[in-house]
Amino acid sequence: MRIDPVKLNQKNVLVNDYFHHYKNVEDKFEYNPHHEDTLRKRADYVQERTYNRDGLADTLTEMNEQWGAPSRTFTSIEKLRDNKTMAVVAGQQAGLLTGPLYTVHKIISVIQLAKQQEKQLGTPVAPVFWIAGEDHDFAEINHVMMKSEQRMKKIQLQLQADQKASVSDLPFDREAVDSWLQKVFAEVKETEITRDFYQTVVRHMHQSSSYSEFFARLLYQLFSEEGLIIVDAHHQSIRQLESGYFEQMIDENETIAAGVSAAIQRNRQQGYPVSLDSEADDAHLFYHHRGERVLLTRNEEGTFHGKKNEVEKTKAELLQIARETPWQLSNNVVTRPLMQEFLFPVLSFIGGPGEISYWSVLKPAFQALELQMPPVYPRLSFTLIDRKAEASLAELQLDVKQVLERGTASEKVKWLAATSNPPIERISEQVKHEMEDIHQPLREKASELGPDLEALAEKNLGYLKQMVEFLEHRMLQSIEEKYEHEMKTFKELDLLLHPEGGLQERVWSITPWVNTYGMDVFKRINDHHLSFTHTHYVVYV
């Protein structure tokens, strides 16, 4: 296995500035991730604060025992009881078969940074992965994309799920998941690993009581020796720990909402669009009412209610709920980072481009609760390339960076054009140029006879050029048929390295890679030392 860094252009303007022009965005964050002493300063801050470490460790132990977590996870949990221990945190929804590849890339990032900082700081640092089990958008996570012939195919779990129930609360339909798994594995090429892989997944599925647990069990299967701690934010025991923190969020609700809303407007004025809608009357909390997760807003009188008036609570009633039945409350993207900060001794948070973007407006929310926003580190990003694809890239003389950023379409056209000598494109351009010169006297004469004929002459030239372009297209089509194997290779590379116009990690799942290279393929990537000065790596497996 070879791993090479590659520098990709960042399309998100804010994230690009975060990486390369931090001065432009430094007022939006608490810590500069590019400074060597950042994590040392952050460690001093964290170790001065107090946390309910024993309560957290007890709850994590109970939760992870239910999931059959590996022994090293419990070692990491016990370390959290020590006042010196800190955590590197990342999170994600509970996707089926772990979701897109970027989920495991986040976990590799968390483990890598925790390991590196434990060595540098000389104090224990635990890698923590936060499952957003309270999220209710099941449509986002109920499928995987699999390569099928010459396209990416969406294989969706057929389940009539309650659209407003939290994923961790959804009934876990083993029969439906079992049928879905058969469809997924029908798309993979049979290898010596396939049978064991399939049986392992099915075993974890039968041992799970929720989609979040199924997700956690598979992640532990992939990363069993790294001391990773997984937490389901929607677990009732976690909610009990959060009781007092919900009270603080309710008390400071107006300040949090006003600060975040103002920060979003400021970002937009500066040319930094954020994919986060927030108004000054948003509560940034959900109330769980009759099996549904209702987003709360706040009116002028300070009363909290659902947008469709499904529920209405006074501030006093909401505070009582926070004290007595906190599992009826949950966080949204604004208050979830605050809850992480209250619960865990967070040394740093790791996020993808979208998360870095919306974290840029959260500093006022942290300040409202007298907290410091933790350093935000960009997660590591990977593109996996098998030996066949590596050989194809070399054979077609394609630059990996260009293919990752733009795909193979333009390179395919160039390759086709170069198969004739001189290239068809060049001949076509030359013919059109000469045609324009020959046609010039006609256009001049037509212009003398009036504007109508002048326009007709221009149109006539356009038609002639179109006919040449049509012939050029048919000739290229003929060459494509002649070089069918090469054309298929271009398409295969595009599906692998630039699927649906983006990075592999946003479309592909772990399934084909584990099926070919084994359950330890991501562990072997993680065994390398990966520097956070590079954000994207190409992995030649």
pLDDT at 158: 85
Tens digit of each residue's pLDDT (9 = 90 or more) over 326-384? 999 999 999 999 999 999 999 999 999 999 999 999 999 999 999 999 999 999 999 99
Q: Which residues pair with 377 in a beta bridge?
A: 350
Q: What is the DSSP string of 77-139?
A: HHHTTSTT-EEEEEEE---GGGSBTHHHHHHHHHHHHHHHHHHHHTS-EEEEEEE-TT---GG
Rg (CA), the chain: 28
- Taking the C-alpha atoms of residue 390 and residue 398, their distance in angstroms, rounded to an integer, is 10
Percent composition of the chain: helix, strand, coil (DSSP 3-state, to 5): 55, 15, 30
10: number of Cβ within 10 Å:
17
Cα 75 from Cα 525, distance rounded (Å): 23
Do residues 541 and 496 lie in contact, with contact meaning Cβ atoms separated by under 8 Å?
A: no
Q: What pLDDT is attached to residue 162?
A: 58
Q: Which ranges constitute the DSSP H helices of 326-483?
A: 336-343, 353-359, 363-368, 387-395, 400-406, 409-417, 424-448, 451-482
Low-confidence ranges of the chain (pLDDT < 70): 161-163, 420-421
Measured CA to CA, the distance from residue 161 to residue 329 in angstroms comes to 21
Q: Is the dihedral of CA 436, 442, 447, 452 positive or negative?
A: negative
Backbone torsion region of residue 271, taken as left when φ is above 0, otherwise alpha when ψ lies between -120 and 50, otherwise beta? left
Q: What is the pLDDT of residue 477?
A: 82
Would you state the pLDDT for residue 163? 61
Handedness of CA 408, 381, 181, 514 (dihedral sign): positive
The 10 Å Cβ neighbour count of residue 429 is 13
Contact 276, 270 (CB under 8 A): no
- Residue among 142, 140, 174, 146 nearest 158 (CA): 142
Sign of CA dihedral 191, 195, 197, 201: positive
The pLDDT value recorded for residue 325 is 96
For residues 259 and 355, the answer to whether their CB atoms sit within 8 Å is: no
Structure tokens of 401?
A: 């960076």
By C-alpha distance, which of 255, 256, 277, 254 is closest to 265?
277
Give the list of residues 6+ apart from residue 138 with CB closer than 8 angstroms, or none. Answer: 159, 161, 163, 167, 170
